[in-house]
């Protein structure tokens, strides 16, 4: 009956000894992180930015990369300690400009130029930031914000043609044709040889005839071409012509791209429409003949034949004959291609080839008296 009591006493002693053996935590303070001065932070930011420029390809510079992020953090701390130090503000502006962090760059350039308004190089860089912000707004279809950025760009750098012309482009798409014309006119004075500016200056003067929907589609199509997306441009030109059937330039661009991309229905619609407008040209009628002929023989064969004919007219007889062969192969029922192949062979006195080609031409078109005549001549070897 006493053993349980004894066991309890021994257990209590063991616990007490264990608790007494616990090591008391150290009360020493952790090592404090040294506080850097604004100058030290700026030097650190500059060094990190230099490392980042060497470490990362320029086309992927981003504030999300470690070296750039640390550089930005360091210069932000330096500026917070000395907000009126122009050297630190300039470094901050350059870092955020390099990584394309436009909003931060804008703030930094504003703050720097408030202290150094006469720095022409800085104004140029600040203007470029505004241009990038404006174009980004345009690209996301924010036509309310875009003009503000482009206008600020022009304030910073009045001779910046890109900002003037893009501000005009936004005004054009927004239906403010007078503003668009005025801005394009300013751009044209600065860059009289710029064909794009001249083109859109003319367009803006006529835009009232077409309406904002057609004009905006046309403008976006032009941008798509500049980016190399011709398929998207064709779609937009078709939207423009659907919205404004009297839009000559939109029809012309639709036809041109339709031919280039092999889109026969789009090209046919364009040149057929142009043939009914008072502004139709000889080139429009020529292209209409191409699409009409292509309805029968295919666009590829017709384009190959027309290219070959152009070479023949220019004196490149060998290149022309190769083209006539290709056109006849692309569509063996293309009588005109066979006839001109016969002519090319006959002129270089290859009578067997000429006879074969003329024979095919006459078979396909029995009313072709010229081919029938030269067929006989070729068969006689003269």
Residue 257 is encoded by which pair of tokens? 């791209």
Contacts of 183 (CB under 8 A, 6+ apart): 164, 165, 167, 168, 171
How far is Cα 92 from Cα 71, in angstroms, rounded to an integer?
9
Taking Cα atoms as reference points, which of 97, 95, 91 lies closest to residue 79? 91
The kind and range of the H/E element at 178 are: helix 177-190
Cα–Cα distances (Å) from 145 to 92, 108, 177, 278, 318, in that order, read: 25, 20, 18, 39, 58
The 10s digit of each residue's pLDDT in 46-68 is 999 999 999 999 999 999 999 99
Instruction: Tell me the longest C-alpha to C-alpha distance in the chain.
Output: 143
- Regions of the chain with pLDDT less than 50: 1-27
CA torsion 184-188-189-192 (nearest 10°) is 180
How far is Cα 364 from Cα 381, in angstroms, rounded to an integer?
23
Residue 2 is encoded by which pair of tokens? 């006493």
Taking Cα atoms as reference points, which of 132, 219, 210, 133 lies closest to residue 172? 219
The 10s digit of each residue's pLDDT in 351-375 is 999 999 999 999 999 999 999 999 9
Contacts of 281 (CB under 8 A, 6+ apart): none
The 10s digit of each residue's pLDDT in 130-170 is 999 999 999 999 999 999 999 999 999 999 999 999 999 99
Predicted pLDDT at 208: 87
Domains, the chain, in order of start with CATH, read 39-117 (1.25.40), 317-379 (1.25.40.10)
Q: Are 95 and 125 in contact (CB under 8 A)?
A: no
Predicted pLDDT at 237: 97
Predicted pLDDT at 8: 36
Predicted pLDDT at 14: 43
- Which percentage of the chain shows pLDDT scores above 70? 91
Contacts of 351 (CB under 8 A, 6+ apart): 345, 378, 379, 381, 382
The kind and range of the H/E element at 364 are: helix 351-364
What is the CB neighbour count within 10 angstroms for residue 5? Answer: 9
Query: Whats the size of the chain, residue-wise?
Result: 382
Residue 4 is encoded by which pair of tokens? 């349980």
């Amino acid at each position: 009956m006493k053993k349980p009591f004894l066991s309890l006493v021994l257990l209590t002693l063991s616990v007490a000894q264990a608790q007494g053996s616990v090591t008391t935590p150290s009360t020493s303070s952790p090592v404090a992180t040294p506080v850097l001065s604004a100058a030290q932070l700026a030097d650190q930011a500059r060094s990190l930015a230099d490392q980042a420029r060497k470490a990362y390809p320029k086309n992927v510079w981003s504030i999300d990369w470690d070296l750039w992020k640390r550089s930005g953090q360091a210069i932000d701390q330096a500026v917070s300690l000395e907000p009126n130090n122009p050297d630190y503000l300039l470094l901050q502006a350059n870092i955020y400009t390099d990584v394309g962090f436009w909003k931060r760059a804008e703030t930094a350039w504003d703050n720097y130029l408030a202290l150094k308004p006469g720095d022409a190089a800085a104004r140029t860089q600040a203007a470029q930031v505004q241009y990038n912000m404006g174009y980004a707004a345009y690209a996301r279809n924010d036509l309310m914000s875009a003009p503000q950025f482009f206008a600020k760009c022009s304030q910073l750098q009045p001779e910046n043609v890109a900002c003037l012309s893009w501000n005009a482009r936004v005004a054009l798409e927004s239906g403010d044709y007078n503003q668009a014309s005025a801005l394009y006119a300013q751009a044209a004075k600065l860059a009289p040889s710029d064909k794009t500016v001249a083109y859109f200056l003319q367009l803006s003067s006529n835009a009232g005839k077409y309406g904002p929907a057609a004009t905006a589609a046309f403008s976006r199509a032009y941008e798509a071409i500049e980016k190399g997306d011709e398929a998207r441009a064709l779609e937009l030109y078709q939207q423009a012509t659907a919205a404004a059937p009297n839009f000559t330039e939109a029809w012309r661009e639709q036809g041109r791209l339709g031919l280039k991309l092999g889109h026969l229905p789009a090209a046919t619609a364009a040149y057929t429409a142009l043939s009914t407008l008072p502004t139709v040209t000889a080139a429009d009628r020529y292209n209409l003949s191409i699409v009409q002929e292509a309805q029968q023989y295919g666009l590829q064969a017709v384009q190959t034949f027309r290219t070959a004919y152009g070479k023949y007219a220019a004196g490149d007889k060998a290149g022309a004959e190769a083209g006539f062969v290709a056109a006849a192969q692309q569509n063996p029922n293309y009588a005109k291609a066979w006839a001109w192949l016969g002519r090319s062979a006959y002129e270089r006195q290859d009578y067997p080839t000429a006879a074969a080609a003329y024979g095919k031409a006459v078979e396909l078109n029995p009313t072709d008296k010229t081919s029938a005549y030269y067929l006989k001549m070729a068969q006689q070897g003269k």
